[in-house]
Amino acid sequence: QQQVKQSPQSLIVQKGGISIINCAYENTAFDYFPWYQQFPGKGPALLIAIRPDVSEKKEGRFTISFNKSAKQFSLHIMDSQPGDSATYFCAASKPGNTGKLIFGQGTTLQVKP
Partner 1 sequence: EAEVAQSPRYKITEKSQAVAFWCDPISGHATLYWYRQILGQGPELLVQFQDESVVDDSQLPKDRFSAERLKGVDSTLKIQPAELGDSAMYLCASRREAGANVLTFGAGSRLTVL
Binding site for partner 1 (CB under 8 A): 4, 6, 32, 34, 36, 41-46, 49, 89, 91, 93, 97-106
Q: What angle do CA 104, 99, 102 make, to 5 degrees?
A: 15
Query: What SS3 class is residue 101?
Result: coil
Minimum distance from residue 29 beta carbon to partner 1 (Å): 15
- Which of residues 17 and 22 has its CB atom nearest to partner 1 in the complex? 22
- Which of residues 20 and 48 has its CB atom nearest to partner 1 in the complex? 48
- Which of residues 17 and 24 has its CB atom nearest to partner 1 in the complex? 24
Do the Cβ atoms of 72 and 28 come closer than 8 Å? no
- How far is residue 49 from each of residues 62, 89, 104, 113, measured CA to CA in Å? 10, 11, 14, 28
Minimum distance from residue 102 beta carbon to partner 1 (Å): 8
